[in-house]
């Protein structure tokens, strides 16, 4: 009898707690976004970083295809990425002097335009967490939801150009743990979902070592092996391949 009464009281109390938690006002998006900077190392730690070289591996679980990935970025907001996949070869992409591009044996060489270009430029913004106010016109906390068993604040970010993005920050750690977006692509709009986990100190700030992504019916995981910060990067590293340069040199049609 006493045990039943105890469980009844505990149930009522826990239900009241859950309701109170659900009814509690949500923190402002700016508080959470600025809090992410602090949770991952602080503004000073970010500002000490002038460039980085990130290396890792990529694994497509469904078909067993694997490969390597290397990414270069610096404070000029130029970026270069190369992914070598078994049986496919090299896929390159980057941002150079404000122009986004992509080159691969599968889809050829092209310049990115419109919303797709805007997305690439946002991604190439160095120390992006410090500059979210410049990249988005609106940030709104819309809910407290569960993400893989963890309470997370759901924030909708509206960019200056392109579709809104949704990001989820752990209530406990302040880390970014999930991101969803509708990406622009020549084939049309493509939904993307990314889960970020296994945060470690990489070059002075906390970064996720594991990025699991779902896009266009494919699932793949990038595992970060190493991040070298403030190291020498060849001046021509960000220059695109010759075929991309040719496209950049063509006059823009009116």
Annotate 177-199 with b (16+ C-beta within 10 A) or e (fewer): bbbbbbbbeeeeeeeeebbbeeb
Give CA–CA dist 152/112, Å, rounded.
Answer: 33
Helix%, strand%, coil% for the chain, nearest 5: 25, 45, 30
pLDDT score, position 106: 81
pLDDT, averaged in runs of 10, over the chain (254 residues):
41 44 81 98 97 96 89 97 92 96 90 94 97 97 97 97 96 98 84 97 96 91 97 93 91 53
Give CA–CA dist 167/179, Å, rounded.
Answer: 4
CB 124 within 8 A of CB 77: yes
Give CA–CA dist 17/8, Å, rounded.
Answer: 14
pLDDT score, position 184: 82
Domains and CATH numbers, the chain: 27-249 (2.50.20.10)
Does the predicted TM-score (pTM) go above 0.85? Answer: yes
pLDDT score, position 17: 41
CB 9 within 8 A of CB 163: no
pLDDT score, position 235: 84
pLDDT score, position 9: 38
pLDDT score, position 28: 98
């Amino acid at each position: 009898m006493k045990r039943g009464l105890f469980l009844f009281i505990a149930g009522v109390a826990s239900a009241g707690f859950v309701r109170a938690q659900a009814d509690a006002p949500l923190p402002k998006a700016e508080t959470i976004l600025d809090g992410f900077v602090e949770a991952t190392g602080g503004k000073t730690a970010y500002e000490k970083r002038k460039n980085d070289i990130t290396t890792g591996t990529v694994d497509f679980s469904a078909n067993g295809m694997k490969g390597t990935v290397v990414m270069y970025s610096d404070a000029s907001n130029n970026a270069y990425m190369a992914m070598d996949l078994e049986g496919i070869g090299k896929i390159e992409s980057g941002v150079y002097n404000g122009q986004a591009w992509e080159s691969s044996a599968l889809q050829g060489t092209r310049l990115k335009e419109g919303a797709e270009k805007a997305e690439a430029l946002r991604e190439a913004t160095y120390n992006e967490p410090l500059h979210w106010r410049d990249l988005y016109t609106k940030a709104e906390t819309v809910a407290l939801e569960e993400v893989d068993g963890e309470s997370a604040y759901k924030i909708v970010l509206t960019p200056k150009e392109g579709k809104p993005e949704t990001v989820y920050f752990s209530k406990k750690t302040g880390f970014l743990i999930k991101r969803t977006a509708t990406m622009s692509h020549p084939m049309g709009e493509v939904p993307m979902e990314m889960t970020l986990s296994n945060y470690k100190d990489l070059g002075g700030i906390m970064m996720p070592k594991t990025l699991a992504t779902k896009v266009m019916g494919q699932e793949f995981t990038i595992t970060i092996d190493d991040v070298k910060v403030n190291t020498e990067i060849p001046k021509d590293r960000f220059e695109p391949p010759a075929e991309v340069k040719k496209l950049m040199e063509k006059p823009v049609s009116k």
